[in-house]
Structure 1
Amino acid sequence: MAEILDSELRRRTWKLLQPGEIELDGLVVQTEFDGSQEPEMHQATVEVGELIAEYTGYEPRDTFVYSGTDDSEFASNQHQGLTLDDESFVWECQQLLRDGSFDIVFYFEAEADSTGLLDAVRAAGYDATVIRGDAEEPDDAVLDV
């Protein structure tokens, strides 16, 4: 059952990357954090967001996390990484409570070093998968490294 859910999440992630104003890739980070561990999940979101900033060419200290808790355009578990100087897009994520634990789905510009990013996220101890937005089909979208 878990593999079916994981496959479905990867398919849904790929679908959201299709076509947009900018070319995007996705990163699905599966965690063991349950609903009572929101501080840990938030820290994981910040840590992975900083890695995304680094691998998309930004200095992580020059970015910030915008959480739209006071913005009707955002869901409660939706966040963006933006640059400090002009609030440019770096990444966006949604924290999804699925089957008792959180998965964090990030979207970022496809020009990022996705292979390096995936290696760094895994080295930080996270179970992660990169979903390429330029793949023709969701089954071809998973970056294998």
Structure 2
Amino acid sequence: MARRPLALDALDAWPSLTALEVSELSDWNEALTALRVHPRITELTFEPFPWQNPPTDARRRPAVANLTVRPPRNNQDLTRLRAIFPGLISLDLDLANHGRELDLTPLHDWPDVAVRTSHNPETVLIGADELDGRLY
């Protein structure tokens, strides 16, 4: 059976859904609109996060408070997450199969977000000390 990208057009059928894990989206902007219309979904995990194809419509920002993503391999600016998920309070960076270092300095100016890293204690975290107790 072939895998197909996920469309989030049937979220109304799941009224008690508060957490969602997605592997691939059919359309970023449509997915963000669906999530914005369903603010009860506050926990979101991307496997993988579409760093190469970010959303284009900044007006479609969902009410996600807890986000889990694998950081970009080339240390692209993590601040683009702030524009997409302005209500974020917890960011979990999954370092499984990540490179040798991860630059966290773009998160310094996002004081309301707690940052957690997981799965690879050997990854060097650049700018971790400056997160002032927000890194777990």
TM-score (norm: length of structure 1): 0.25
Between structures 1 and 2, the one with greater strand share: 1
Higher relative contact order (CA 8 A, sep 6+): 1
